Chain A
């Protein structure tokens, strides 16, 4: 249950996606429909390099980029794969289904 005044990121974002960025990286985009919602999520500090590291259990250094991209009302981060895409045992060669844990991030009211 979301606490009073909080919303899940999936309720606030227009797009939450993941995709290969080349063979060594997976990049995540969280895009908002309007500037106010984007600013609310930024202010809440629930989507930061540190929170992503915790959520995905990433070792320090696994995040290559973390960008708040104002022109698109978007937050974007990129992680290193442990092995390049498409080798045997890689279950997601396009990196397209790695975003699900982001959906339930709780965003407190502004």
Chain B
């Protein structure tokens, strides 16, 4: 095989539907593989913690249906990573089930569905920690303690190319992956077909977010990547989009702390010597990427831990004197919560829109609030009843705040809703860590089943 072409119709499949026109053009180019990633930690820790998707089932199903129909028609592999936003085991099972139902619906001839799980058991991790293994913190996270492990609800490990390649070797026609590095969803088939790792990982890097590597800006459009022994070419499929040197190089920066390096299980893609060249109107060629295998095989872990049940409330303020003293208004309400519940055992958060609601402590203009403010109140506590009362007290008591020189003595805030509303439970990221593994597949058990027929 001299080259392999892969189309990517969507970055984070399910989060918003793929666009059909450019997908059809991509399929018409007869790619050798159709692949997409379906997850992200951007959606916050709640879906992983509660074992749910944030994407609607209808959108997930629709995109899987387009991809499955095209891949079976072309008889080329379809590969999905990070099933169902989180890549948790229940999400992998959900996607495998969707594939089976779609195969029956379309009366597709029998085909092989490979899948792998990514969840890591808490007791498995505890056992490794007690055996002396350090679960090292990434970025702002410290090394994992057993207390943080205890506070964690669910953990997924981030797969590299390895389980995908294992399933391709077993002849999978469709692969549903647990949590995976986006780029590896595309790098795996390229490596499986014998293309150099240097270019394979770059191919994955450039394709992972679909048309985010094209211009003008427009997400969810299909792009086509082609790998050879010498480099990668990427082409926009939408009639109005192009992959340019600027758009492709610009994409290397997206969502990365550093535009030169991409870390995956087993190594690092070094893009510092990349060369970009416009080879056709819609196509840019990239050479010079280097994949550097890691000295030690470490896998990233993500974990979410529950803080408590949550209610939210909302108030508005228009009086300029009250706006100037809004900290005292919130302080009064917080004091009433404290008198009822004490200092700990709950959380009460105020977000002051019109002052620093979006940027918090980073806001340079927080000393110049607007002429009206909206305050979002969040009460978090172990039980729903307590969270409701924390939030209700923290919201309603702002109405009774005691400011010495206020003219309006009939109520310090405006209510659009005189109630507090139940929100999703509050979770936090407990794990953003790495774990050493002896075997690249040990955290990612693979399975094979069939669909259709």
A interface residue numbers (CB < 8 A to B): 15, 19-25, 27, 29, 31, 33, 55-58, 64-65, 67, 69, 71-74, 76, 78, 80-94, 97-98, 100-101
A-B contact pairs, 20 of them (CB 8 A): A23-B302, A23-B429, A27-B257, A33-B246, A56-B362, A58-B362, A67-B260, A69-B252, A71-B245, A71-B276, A72-B253, A74-B250, A74-B259, A78-B258, A87-B45, A88-B347, A91-B376, A92-B358, A97-B359, A100-B359
Q: Is the pair B250, A15 in contact by a Cβ cutoff of 8 Å? A: yes
Q: Is the pair A93, B362 in contact by a Cβ cutoff of 8 Å? A: no
Q: Are A22 and B138 CB-contacts (below 8 A) given A88-B307, A89-B378? A: yes
Given contacts A31-B253, A72-B259, 17 further A-B contacts (CB under 8 A): A20-B41, A20-B42, A65-B257, A69-B249, A76-B259, A80-B139, A84-B140, A84-B428, A86-B43, A86-B44, A88-B307, A88-B347, A89-B351, A91-B351, A91-B358, A97-B359, A101-B362
B23 at the A/B interface (Cβ < 8 Å)?
no
Cβ-closest chain A residue relative to B258? A65
B310 at the A/B interface (Cβ < 8 Å)?
yes
Partner of A84, one of B253, B257, B432: B432
Q: Is the pair A87, B274 in contact by a Cβ cutoff of 8 Å? A: no
B interface residue numbers (CB < 8 A to A): 41-46, 138-141, 245-246, 249-250, 252-260, 274, 276, 302, 307, 310, 347, 349, 351, 357-362, 364-365, 376, 378, 380, 426-429, 432
Partner of B307, one of A31, A64, A81, A87: A87
Q: Is the pair A84, B429 in contact by a Cβ cutoff of 8 Å? A: yes
Q: Is the pair A57, B347 in contact by a Cβ cutoff of 8 Å? A: no
Q: Is the pair B259, A67 in contact by a Cβ cutoff of 8 Å? A: yes
Assembled-state Cα–Cα distance A7/B370 (Å): 26
Q: Is the pair A31, B347 in contact by a Cβ cutoff of 8 Å? A: no
Interface of B is mostly: mixed
Within the complex, the shortest CB–CB distance from B232 to chain A, in Å, comes to 15
Which of A58, A73, A76 has the largest number of chain B CB atoms within 10 A?
A76
Assembled-state Cα–Cα distance A83/B378 (Å): 17
Which of B138, B139, B253, B376 has the largest number of chain A CB atoms within 10 A?
B253
Partner of A71, one of B44, B249, B349: B249
Within 8 Å CB of B427, what residues of A? Answer: 86-87
Partner of B246, one of A25, A73, A81: A73
Q: Are A22 and B41 CB-contacts (below 8 A) given A71-B249, A72-B259, A87-B429? A: yes
Partner of A80, one of B140, B310, B349, B429: B140
